């Protein structure tokens, strides 16, 4: 038997009509029986039929045309598009229960609340991004302007200063170029038209090449680049080789920059069913937990002054995240302050 809370709107009309009619009939027959009204029983039955019809159409009009019309307007309002399958319910409001209507409206309200929260987060992110990119571009730009104006004011004729200032201006110009290049790279990765050119290759062989490219940088800081003991896995994957080269290069460069002098950068490989898990670990300063969720944000710096002193555009980890997600994979990070940080990501094994 249908519970009262699951009654359809049409059933509510019927049950309300019957209830009101029964009460009216009980009162009328009580008056007729106890007070012996001079009215024939046949007339009472005729009146009963007539009043039932009047009650039915009156209650039906009040509920369906006044109250349920407002419910239809609510449904039209909460339907996101004309193509929404839920739109079909608007034509069949009488078959819905009040409980269904309530659930639909509550679900819609919850969805809108989540969308609003997401929009607020996006707006905050947008404002932070605009502020960050403005700051990142202004810093090298102002430096270039300062060096050039100093040279124009006469320092260009001073030996030992002119070449030094030109070199510093050139370095800052290169930094500006790196920021623009990295922004362009992120834009390409976010663009739906970007195509991953997959090929079969060994991640371990690729990391050896990246180790070779960064050997001098690591030696300068006395950091040892190595593989984890037992990492004899050849790790043949199906992915975009150059995109993964960029990922590994960014992660290893970060590990060197923020690693402790005389420390290590360790590469590890693990088989996880149909995937290869690659981890890049350092023995550096680590990152506090409150910063971890923002590490892949554009221009986010845990320690702004130190990060800029180390160089870089502030976009490396954002590029890494987009490159991995473009492969349909995920990247994660775990860290302990004053112990070290580990970045890990998966790639599909080549079958």
- Domains of the chain plus CATH, in order, are 4-96 (no CATH), 131-190 (1.10.287.130), 199-348 (3.30.565.10)
- Phi, psi (deg, nearest 5) at residue 198: -80, 145
Say whether pLDDT at 83 is over 70: no
For the segment 104-121, the average pLDDT, to the nearest whole number, is 75
Q: Closest by alpha carbon to 331, among 292, 285, 287?
A: 292
d(CA 163, CA 132): 31
For the segment 267-291, the average pLDDT, to the nearest whole number, is 86
Distance of CA 73 to the CA centre of its chain: 32
**Which alpha helices (DSSP H) does the chain contain, by range?**
9-34, 41-60, 68-78, 98-152, 162-190, 203-213, 215-220, 241-257, 289-292, 304-310, 316-326
Share of the chain above pLDDT 70, in %: 67
Query: Coil, strand or helix: which one is 127?
Result: helix
pLDDT band at 73 (very low <50, low <70, confident <90, very high): low
pLDDT band at 200 (very low <50, low <70, confident <90, very high): very high
Per the CB < 8 A criterion, the answer to whether 346 and 292 are in contact is no
CA dihedral 175, 176, 177, 181 (to 10 degrees): 100
d(CA 267, CA 229): 10
94 compared with 294, residue with greater pLDDT:
294
pLDDT tens digit string along 35-67?
A: 655 666 666 677 777 777 777 777 777 766 666
Per the CB < 8 A criterion, the answer to whether 337 and 347 are in contact is no
d(CA 96, CA 51): 27
pTM over 0.85: no
Per the CB < 8 A criterion, the answer to whether 324 and 280 are in contact is no
d(CA 39, CA 247): 96
d(CA 234, CA 239): 15
pLDDT at 231: 64
């Amino acid at each position: 038997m249908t519970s009262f809370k699951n009654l359809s709107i049409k059933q509510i009309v019927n049950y309300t009509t019957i209830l009101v009619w029964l009460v009216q009939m009980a009162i009328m027959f009580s008056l007729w029986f106890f007070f012996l009204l001079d009215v024939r029983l046949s007339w009472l039955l005729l009146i009963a039929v007539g009043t039932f019809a009047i009650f039915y159409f009156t209650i039906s009009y009040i509920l369906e045309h006044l109250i349920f019309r407002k419910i239809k307007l609510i449904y039209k309002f909460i339907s996101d598009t004309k193509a929404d399958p839920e739109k079909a319910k608007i034509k069949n409001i009488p078959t819905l229960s009040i409980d269904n209507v309530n659930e639909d409206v509550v679900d819609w309200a919850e969805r809108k609340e989540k969308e609003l929260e997401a929009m607020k987060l996006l707006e905050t992110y947008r404002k932070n991004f605009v502020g960050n990119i403005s700051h990142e571009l202004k810093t090298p730009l102002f430096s270039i302007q300062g060096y050039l104006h100093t040279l124009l004011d006469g320092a260009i004729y001073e030996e030992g200063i002119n070449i030094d200032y030109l070199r510093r201006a050139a370095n800052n110009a290169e930094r500006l170029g790196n920021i623009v290049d990295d922004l362009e790279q992120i834009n390409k990765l976010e663009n739906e038209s970007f195509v991953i050119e997959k090929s079969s290759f060994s991640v371990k062989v690729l990391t050896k090449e990246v180790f070779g490219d960064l050997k001098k940088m690591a030696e300068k800081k006395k950091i040892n680049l190595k593989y984890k003991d037992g990492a004899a896995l050849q790790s043949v994957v199906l992915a975009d080789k150059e995109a993964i080269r960029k990922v590994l290069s960014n992660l290893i460069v970060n590990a060197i920059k923020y690693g402790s002098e005389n420390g290590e950068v360790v590469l590890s490989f693990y088989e996880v069913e149909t995937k290869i898990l690659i981890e890049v670990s350092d023995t550096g300063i680590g990152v506090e937990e409150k910063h971890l969720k923002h590490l892949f944000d554009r221009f986010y710096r845990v320690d702004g002054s130190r990060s800029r002193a180390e160089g870089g555009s502030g976009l490396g980890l954002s590029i890494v995240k987009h490159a991995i997600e473009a492969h349909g994979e995920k990247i994660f990070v775990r860290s302990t302050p004053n112990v070290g940080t580990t970045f890990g990501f998966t790639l599909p094994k080549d079958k």
